Amino acid sequence: MARKVAILTGGGDCPGLNAVIRAATLKLTRAGYEMVGVRGGWRGLIENDYMPLDIQSISGILPRGGTILGTSRTNPMKTEGGVELLVDNLRQNEIWATIAIGGDDTLGVANQLNGKYALNMVGVPKTIDNDLSGTDYTFGFDTAVQIATENIDRLHTTAESHDRVIVVEIMGRHTGWITIMAGIAGGADVILIPEYDVSVEETCDIIRRRQSGNKSFSIVAVSEGAKLTTKEGEEQLVVQSDEVDAFGNVKLGGVANILAKEIKRRTGFETRATVLGHIQRGGTPTAHDRVLATRYGAKAAEMVQNEEFGLMAALQGDAIVAVPLEVAVGERKMVRQEFWDLAQTFFA
Ligand code: F6P
């Protein structure tokens, strides 16, 4: 009888998920495995919500954003009786191995299921935030950077026409990867990210220096997770709501509006705020992300075939390798000093 392999997508969606599903399904189906799609991330394994995956069902999905399987932020470890149900369901449905495509939350669960519950888990690193360790890049990140950069370019022309400061809020819950890359690529004049501190006063000073140097407009790129700090030592993480999800994450958002008001109040310059939000997660993946996601999917299939469990497909240099899941979810990958130094070179 063919061995059954489940595949699921968990956490926030991102462009490239379908490319992973396609590559893994194609390789494993051809190798004689039976593929099962799990709907809605870990929720589908708790509720026995599956869809068949075969060569036909993956046709045409490579360029499609989102995930044909659906996703959720369900945490079986925090759901009453969740893990027990999930373990029972996997056994009863004779699912031999699971490919979990996700970020630190989803892969943290996969790591525990593999270690504590002896389930065969393979991970694939997904998140626009690019904050997973063990891999140079997650797929979805390149697309998000591209979208954010295009939008900074657009904001530039309108900021310049109106002699305005525009503050653009970019996603990134704990790290500033998207903001720093898009900020450098889009020529932002000030960049604020969670990893390094630029106070509100310093931000205003940079804008004033630009204005006195005959630049009548400025673009400020700020990560949604950047804390607003002042020289007096005040610190503010701006949240949309204090409510936490099943993984303990608060809903971020709104920092650009507050910063824009502060810039206007302190400098007198006309200032606007733009929040890019989920636009950064939608739509078709870039060619780079399609290739990376395809390589990850093919590697995940190979790991299943070789019975290499408890590992995640990863990019190191230009090689696709396998790293322990616990390395991936152990320590968050923060923006390196060299990128920060480079970005600062262009602050006025
Ligand atoms: O983790 C990816 C991410 O897009 C973060 O950048 C952002 O903070 C969060 O997800 C938003 O989550 P949601 O889609 O649940 O609002």
| 8 A C-beta contact, residue 76 and residue 88 | no
Q: pLDDT per position in the chain (348 positions), as tens? A: 899 999 999 999 999 999 999 999 999 999 999 999 999 999 999 999 999 999 999 999 999 999 999 999 999 999 999 999 999 999 999 999 999 999 999 999 999 999 999 999 999 999 999 999 999 999 999 999 999 999 999 999 999 999 999 999 999 999 999 999 999 999 999 999 999 999 999 999 999 999 998 899 999 999 999 999 999 999 999 999 888 999 999 999 999 999 999 999 999 999 999 999 999 999 999 999 999 999 999 999 999 999 999 999 999 999 999 999 999 999 999 999 999 999 999 998
Nearest CA owner, ligand 1 atom 14: 12
Cβ neighbours, 10 Å, residue 289 = 26
Residue of the nearest CA to atom 1 in ligand 1? Answer: 12
The DSSP annotation for 245-293 comes to -TTS-EEE--HHHHHHHHHHHHH---EEEEE-GGGGG-SPPPHHHHHHH
Residue 281 CA: nearest ligand 1 atom is 4
Atom of ligand 1 nearest to the CA of 178: 6
Report the atom number in ligand 1 closest to the C-alpha of 172.
6
The sign of the dihedral angle between the CA atoms of 41, 46, 49, 51 is positive
How many CB atoms within 10 Å of residue 65? 17
**SS3 at position 27:** helix
Q: What SS3 state is found at 37?
A: strand
From the number of C-beta atoms within 10 Å of its C-beta (0-12, 13-18, 19+), residue 235 rates as: exposed
Q: Which pLDDT score is estimated for 242?
A: 85
Q: Rounded CA gap, 5 and 157, in Å?
A: 50
CB 297 within 8 A of CB 67: no
Best substitution site from 147, 171, 222 to test ligand 1's pocket, by max atoms within 8 Å of Cβ? 171
Q: Model pTM greater than 0.95? A: yes
The pick from 104, 237, 281 for probing ligand 1's pocket by mutation, whose C-beta has the most ligand atoms within 8 angstroms, reads 281
Instruction: Give me the long-range contacts of 315-323 (CB less than 8 A, separation at least 24).
Output: 315/135, 315/136, 315/137, 316/135, 316/136, 317/136, 320/295, 320/296, 323/134, 323/135
Contacts of 218 (CB under 8 A, 6+ apart): 159, 165, 166, 189, 190, 206, 207, 210, 211, 269
**Contact indicator for 193, 335 with CB cutoff of 8 Å:** yes
Whether 333 contacts 131, CB under 8 Å:
yes
Q: What is the model's pLDDT at position 1?
A: 86
Cα-to-centroid distance, 15 and ligand 1 (Å) = 13
Residues having CB closer than 6 A to ligand 1 are 12, 103, 127-129, 171-173, 224, 252, 281
In angstroms, the CA 65 to CA 188 distance is 27
CA distances from 164 to 115, 139, 188, 272 (A): 54, 34, 13, 7
